[in-house]
Structure 1
Amino acid sequence: MIVGFLVFWSLPVPLASSRGATNLPFLSIIIPARNEESRIVPLLRSLQEQRFTSFEILVVDDDSSDKTAAVAESFGAKVLQNEGAGKSSACWYGTEQAKGSWLLFLDADTKFESPEGLNKLLQFYQEKGARGITALQPFHTVERLYEHLSVIFNIIVVTGMNLFTIWGSRFKTAGSFGPCILCNRDDYFLSGGHKKIEGAIMDDLALGEAFLEQNLPVRCLGGKGIISLRMYPEGIGSLIEGWCKSFAVGSKSTHPVVMFMVILWISGSFIAASALVSSLIGWNPAAILLSGILYVLYAIQTGWFAGRVGDFKKAIFIVYPIWFAFFIGIYLYSFIRVNVFRSVSWKGRKIKV
């Protein structure tokens, strides 16, 4: 439990001064989209509500078979038909057509939480010198019970970036968060952008690495109160496919010390649960009391961590071992797919790794 606090000490969000932003440049918002006709609507609606309005919206249609393009056009977005395949290709193509001095890459399933959200993000970037990347991990909103299966993944995605331990920025960042990436046009092309990393499974981590190679800063923060997303509303199959696609590959970028602490924390969750079961079977009152206290503390800690990354219902942590077990199962499945079969599936495409 102590290791858990050390590895996930904090998750800061962008804080800008109260004086307000001045002279913000024209912004190009680039949204790669493949079969997103239903999920993209909240994002486009939230963009219409923003107080900051000096931007263009470029939706890059990545060979969708649904009405993604028509929906985007109905909200006033400019739709581009990508001739390549995949998210990185779509982002690069969108950037080539963009007019803005700053570039904001958004996943189609994100949305801004308030009319001030975009302005807060841009003001923060300006006050930090408007260089490199500022990336937010959106706050995960949950509507259906099966979506809680993502809870441990969300925690590990954040801790695996190496930046949120008690030691702050002592460890090099694993890269960039992917759903919300803000940068300026000059730095993007200097780094090589998505063209350089085309074919990477974890495009967000690879893009962050490309910026770091040019000694450009990469800032990763939480998006609570600014931007949110709902993950895999299509069903549990999509959830499994999505996490399988990214996790075994992404974990390779986590610093060994951070990875060791994460492993200890996960192991402790099972040890606490096993100790309680064992003491109940042996009916040892003292052991039941001690292991019961430890189990409750682990449930509280996990729920507290989860509250930083999403609006997961607190009651689910009564049975927290279920969520850890699901995480371990999908991680092992992902590891086999990546290292044995050398391929993963996502949105109807088989991706070689």
Structure 2
Amino acid sequence: MDVSDIINLVIGFLAIIVGILMFWSLPVPKADKHANLPFLSIIIPARNEENRITPLLHSLQEQDFQSFEVLVIDDQSFDNTVTVAKAHGAKVIQKQGKDRESGKSMACWSGALHAKGKWLLFLDADTCFTDANSLRNLLLSYQQKGAKGILSLQPYHTVHKMYENLSAVFNTIVIVGMNIFTIWGRRFQTAGSFGPCILCNRDDYFLSGGHKKIQGAIMDDLALGQAFLNKDLPVYCLGGKGIISFRMYSEGFKSLVEGWCKSFAIASKSTHPIVMLLTIIWISGSFISAGMLLSFFTSADPVTMILSGLLYFLYAVQTAWFARRCGNFQWMIFIFYPILFLFFAAIYGYSLFRVNILHSVKWRGRNIDV
């Protein structure tokens, strides 16, 4: 075993330890008791969501808690989103306005202005509640936290097609990048809130300025969380497994690339430097472990072969463990985990190019200036 192999093996095994520190846990909402809950307004911003919104609306009809209204804010859709929403009993608000007033943030703001509920729940159209008691458990969890500020969930990612597994590392990094899932817990301030599922009370929402204040922000979820924090309102971020799920970028590989490119370079700026350092070490370790696999096949030293193979195996298991906290990614793909990290690195680099050089990203048929 030469010196370079020793150094790479040491770094690789240390990176696995760093990974554990980086992604220590992902708690989910827990409701310990039943209580009276206020009337709720569920606000769903929608642009061309006819193929994605039905599971969410259907799951809402099946909830055992039914004291809510559903407001679908149509953001200039040119498909059958409005028809589908009305067919499931939702109230549709067709938002009009100039291009600068379009987008998710202003759709959410429009919904909040029309809402009658004491609590507001903002949901992406591609989310779906898991069980009949999921909504009640979410609301009870918020109540147990004092019903103040924001409770946001990152939905559990459901995978249906092979290309969707390419999101595995992205999902992990998105959650880690919120700063509060390390071994140090909430010692670091959260980067903001998760975007697909945001629950807050009406008074706190308007006190913070709501989505109106963050109009134009590419990462509206992070910006909204910061708006609440600026008013000394708490922001809680939890995993959504067992409560809410989503299927990301079901339209195809192109939408997956556009979706992750839209957000990653900007979102990384909100990650705490220590968490960012841990993340960089963990990602670097994945490439080192992949490189050391060559030693498993080419080295004549049995110790090098054993340690190289063990390092690769442990990285595959750890990557699978982390990713499957976030979604139902297929176990077999993690045998080829270097491909997942290479894809992540390529999209992150492309995102940096679009944000810092072209100052523009594309999403849902719109060019968004950055």
2:19 counterpart of 1:4: yes
2:38 counterpart of 1:25: yes
2:60 counterpart of 1:43: no
Choose the corresponding residue for 2:294, options 241, 256, 277.
277
Choose the corresponding residue for 1:79, options 86, 89, 92.
92
Shift, 1:275, TM fit = 0.9
Q: Could you tell me which residue of structure 2 aligns to residue 316 of structure 1?
A: 333
Shift, 1:338, TM fit = 0.2
Shift, 1:222, TM fit = 0.2
> Deviation string for 1:234-256 (max 9, x for gaps)?
00000000000000000000000
Choose the corresponding residue for 1:203, options 215, 220, 239.
220
Task: Name the CA distance, whole Å, in 2 between partners of 1:309 and 1:300.
Answer: 15
Q: 2:296·2:305 contact (CA, 8 Å) conserved in 1?
A: yes
Shift, 1:282, TM fit = 4.1
Shift, 1:283, TM fit = 4.3
Q: Could you tell me which residue of structure 2 aligns to residue 96 of structure 1?
A: 113
Task: Name the CA distance, whole Å, in 2 between partners of 1:102 and 1:283.
Answer: 66
Task: Name the CA distance, whole Å, in 1 between partners of 2:305 and 2:209.
Answer: 58
Question: What SS does the corresponding residue of 1:30 show, helix, strand or coil?
Answer: strand
- The aligned length equals 351
> In the alignment, residue 28 of structure 2 is paired with which amino acid?
V
Shift, 1:11, TM fit = 0.2
Q: 2:31·2:137 contact (CA, 8 Å) conserved in 1?
A: yes
> Deviation string for 1:295-316 (max 9, x for gaps)?
0000001111111100011111
Task: Name the CA distance, whole Å, in 2 between partners of 1:283 and 1:242.
Answer: 45
Structure 1 vs Structure 2 CA RMSD: 0.8
TM-score (norm 2): 0.94
> Deviation string for 1:103-156 (max 9, x for gaps)?
000000000000000000000111111000000000000000000000000000
Task: Name the CA distance, whole Å, in 1 between partners of 2:187 and 2:18.
Answer: 17
Q: Could you tell me which residue of structure 2 aligns to residue 246 of structure 1?
A: 263
> In the alignment, residue 52 of structure 1 is paired with which amino acid?
F
Aligned-residue identity in percent? 66
> In the alignment, residue 52 of structure 2 is paired with which amino acid?
R
Question: What SS does the corresponding residue of 2:152 show, helix, strand or coil?
Answer: strand
Task: Name the CA distance, whole Å, in 1 between partners of 2:296 and 2:65.
Answer: 59
2:135 counterpart of 1:118: yes
> Deviation string for 1:138-197 (max 9, x for gaps)?
000000000000000000000000000000001010000000000000000000000000
Shift, 1:279, TM fit = 4.3
Q: Could you tell me which residue of structure 2 aligns to residue 305 of structure 1?
A: 322
> In the alignment, residue 25 of structure 2 is paired with which amino acid?
S
Task: Name the CA distance, whole Å, in 1 between partners of 2:292 and 2:36.
Answer: 59
Shift, 1:288, TM fit = 1.7
Structure 1 gaps, min length 5? none
Query: 1:197-236, aligned counterparts within 5 Å?
Result: 197-236=214-253
Choose the corresponding residue for 2:345, options 328, 334, 337.
328
Task: Name the CA distance, whole Å, in 2 between partners of 1:281 and 1:325.
Answer: 23
Shift, 1:277, TM fit = 1.3
> In the alignment, residue 41 of structure 1 is paired with which amino acid?
T
Task: Name the CA distance, whole Å, in 1 between partners of 2:146 and 2:364.
Answer: 37
Q: Could you tell me which residue of structure 1 aligns to residue 153 of structure 2?
A: 136
Question: What SS does the corresponding residue of 1:194 show, helix, strand or coil?
Answer: helix
Q: Could you tell me which residue of structure 2 aligns to residue 342 of structure 1?
A: 359
Question: What SS does the corresponding residue of 1:29 show, helix, strand or coil?
Answer: strand
> In the alignment, residue 71 of structure 1 is paired with which amino acid?
V
Task: Name the CA distance, whole Å, in 2 between partners of 1:174 and 1:118.
Answer: 25
> Deviation string for 1:251-284 (max 9, x for gaps)?
0000000000000000001101101114423444
Q: 2:295·2:308 contact (CA, 8 Å) conserved in 1?
A: no
Shift, 1:287, TM fit = 1.4
Task: Name the CA distance, whole Å, in 1 between partners of 2:23 and 2:192.
Answer: 17
TM-score (norm 1): 0.98
Task: Name the CA distance, whole Å, in 1 between partners of 2:123 and 2:297.
Answer: 49
Choose the corresponding residue for 2:203, options 164, 174, 186.
186
Query: 1:254-265, aligned counterparts within 5 Å?
Result: 254-265=271-282
Task: Name the CA distance, whole Å, in 1 between partners of 2:357 and 2:104.
Answer: 24
2:167 counterpart of 1:154: no
Task: Name the CA distance, whole Å, in 1 between partners of 2:107 and 2:330.
Answer: 35
Question: What SS does the corresponding residue of 1:32 show, helix, strand or coil?
Answer: strand
> In the alignment, residue 74 of structure 1 is paired with which amino acid?
A
Task: Name the CA distance, whole Å, in 1 between partners of 2:204 and 2:118.
Answer: 10
